[in-house]
Amino acid sequence: MVARKEELKYLYSFKDSEIIKVITGLRRCGKSTLLEMFKDLLIKNGTPEKNIIRVNFESGEFFELDTYKKMYDYIDKKLQPEGMNYILLDEVQVVPEFQKAVDALYIKKNCDLYITGSNSYLLSGELATLLSGRYVEIKMQPFSFKEFFEAAESGSRQESYRKYIETSSFPYVINLLENPEAVRIYLEGVYNSIIVKDILNRKKITDVKILTSITEFIFDNIGSELSSKRIADTLTSNGRKIDSRTVESYISSLAETFVIYKAERYNIKGKEYLKSLEKYYVCDIGLRNSLLGKKSMDIGYVLENVIYLELLRRNYAVFVGKIDNAEVDFVAQNEDGNLYIQVAATVRDEATLERELKPLKSIRDSYQKMILSLDDDPESDYDGIKRKNAIDWLLCNTQ
């Protein structure tokens, strides 16, 4: 197991607090492994193993816990009267009305709760209402490039980046790097698992081909402005008749299961969020390759996707910037303000460099502005606008 250091440190920082720890993320991104690492850390630091109750609701061992009452009774019988009980519940959304059992356990004084789920709706509806102000969400993704680079332990940074975007960021793929066919089969299994377990079953969707067509269209247009109407019109013209409302529903399902992420637009001058022509990014470039083939490997858009996901990992809210008639690839916001980023495969051509600089130069505030590219050149400064190597930036822990 490769240590998810940041997530584990963050999770452990909430240990014994009167707050439920909710770990969300895509299937196979490492949530179960994180819980296992947390369990090991508890034992290492002196917690008796009998005080750790670990349940994975997708394991056959626990199929019989198919109601919230059975779930509660099973856990309640295992609670130890002495010391804190650490309750680790994996893929808890499998149990109907699980939130009732979670709430009943939460009010016990000797229970510290940790739950995972593969859907963003885990924290919607009744659970959010019941636990309002009483939970913290840890958002997980597959490996960052830095984690991949450290885990793979082979090749130069550039070679590792190539493997990262050609294979996958899913943790298990580290074991399959020398077997491309095994990677392909594994990713097909991941995709089918998400589609069947998290989308078709929940949404009661019967037309799998339409869902796949929409997924392929979005995967093929990462970093491009899209609307549900455009997608519907394109698919209809290709002989797959569908309306924009259905497209919106399917896109919502893909976003809820963390297959895609939506980046809305932000008017930099007007300081307002815009609700049209958003962009979409995919959870894993390898998953995109498995669906579309590597012929769709546009290096610039792929790099943009990788940078977007990294900004999310660094706890930014990320938007596409609009300033006059120009666009800034990313406006990354946190409590310290804005970070403006342009992304390009290369800016060695003078005209390309000037094109990327122009929108950044028109921003009048004093927040940091940078261009990230794959050019292996020394860092440069253009009147306060930094030009950095993207791989260096991905491997560092700061802006």
Phi, psi of 140 (to 5 degrees): -105, 150
DSSP per-residue codes, 39-52: HHHHHHTT--GGGE
pLDDT at 289: 93
Same domain, 100 and 156: no
Model confidence at 4, pLDDT cuts 50, 70, 90, reads: confident
Instruction: For residue 168, name the pLDDT band (cuts at 50, 70, 90).
Output: very high
Judgement on whether residues 189 and 110 belong to the same structural domain of the protein: no
- Is the pLDDT at 149 greater than 70? The verdict is yes
Q: Is the pLDDT of residue 124 over 70?
A: no
296 pLDDT above the threshold of 70: no
3-state helix, strand, coil in the chain (%, to 5): 50, 20, 30
Residue 134 has a pLDDT of: 84
Quick one: 134 and 206 in the same domain?
A: no
Same domain? For 51 and 193 the reply is no
- Provide the residue type at 291 as one letter: L
pLDDT digits 0-9 by tens, 26-45:
999 999 999 999 999 999 99
Contacts (Cβ under 8 Å, ≥6 apart) of 371: 341, 342, 343, 344, 347, 353, 356, 357, 360, 385, 386, 387, 388
- One domain for residues 131 and 157: no
Can you tell me the distance from the alpha carbon of 124 to that of 81, in angstroms, rounded to the nearest whole number?
33
64 and 170 share a domain? no
Range of the domain at 251: 145-395
Give the pLDDT score at 329.
Answer: 97
Q: How far apart are CA 268 and CA 386, in angstroms?
A: 19
Token pair of 6 as six digits: 């940041």
Q: Are residues 175 and 305 in the same domain?
A: yes
Return the SS3 of 88.
Answer: strand
pTM above 0.85, yes or no: yes
Asked if residue 6 has pLDDT above 80, the reply is yes
Contact 92, 229 (CB under 8 A): no
Q: How many domains does the chain have?
A: 2
Smallest CA-to-CA distance from 202 within 192, 210, 194, 213 is with 194
Each residue's pLDDT tens digit, 266-286: 999 999 998 888 999 999 999
Q: Are residues 165 and 261 in the same domain?
A: yes
Last-in-domain residue among 105, 123, 140: 140
Rounded percentage of the chain residues whose pLDDT exceeds 90: 78
Q: In this predicted model, what pLDDT tens digit does every residue of 73-83 receive, in sequence order?
A: 999 999 999 99
| The domain boundary residue, chosen from 90, 123, 140 | 140
Per cent of the chain over pLDDT 70 is: 96
pLDDT of residue 94: 87
Same domain, 280 and 328: yes
Say yes or no to pLDDT of 2 above 80.
no
Task: Give the CA diameter of the chain.
Answer: 71
- Indicate whether 121 pLDDT > 80: no
Please check the confidence at residue 347 and state whether its pLDDT lies above 80: yes
Which of 113, 140, 167 terminates a domain? The answer is: 140
State whether 129 and 55 are in the same domain: yes
Find the CATH number of the domain harbouring 59.
3.40.50.300
The verdict on 372 and 268 lying in the same domain is: yes
Whether residue 150 is found in the same domain as residue 128: no
Tokens 């769709």 locate to 296
Q: How many CA atoms lie within 13 A of 345 on its CB side?
A: 6
Q: Average pLDDT over the chain, rounded to whole?
A: 92
